[in-house]
Structure 1
């Protein structure tokens, strides 16, 4: 059970470092994401979730 806390903590650390260290690039990325259509955003979410599940499965 403790491994999940490490995983969540690691994700939050990486997510927090991006806007902290690369503020302008982070802002530009979000501006580009806002221009995508809903289907494109859903596809990116699907791919991201699939890769995450694959990594979790490989780590078991």
Structure 2
């Protein structure tokens, strides 16, 4: 449970920093995402999911 809370907290910190420091970048990223097909967005999401699971597994195996 602690690891899940840590991960969620880190995600929120990073998201908050992006919105606080570069809100115009978010607009550009959203426009770029709209230009992608549904399949490309799905593939990006699945790739991010797999990378996230691998990073969590590595962190857990290192003692986090």
Counterpart in the other structure of 2:8: 8
Specify which structure has the bigger relative contact order, considering alpha-carbon pairs within 8 angstroms and separated by 6 or more residues: 2
Counterpart in the other structure of 2:20: 20
Aligned residues: 60
**TM-score normalised to structure 2 length:** 0.85
- Which stretches in structure 2 are left out of the alignment for 5+ residues? none
- Which stretches in structure 1 are left out of the alignment for 5+ residues? none
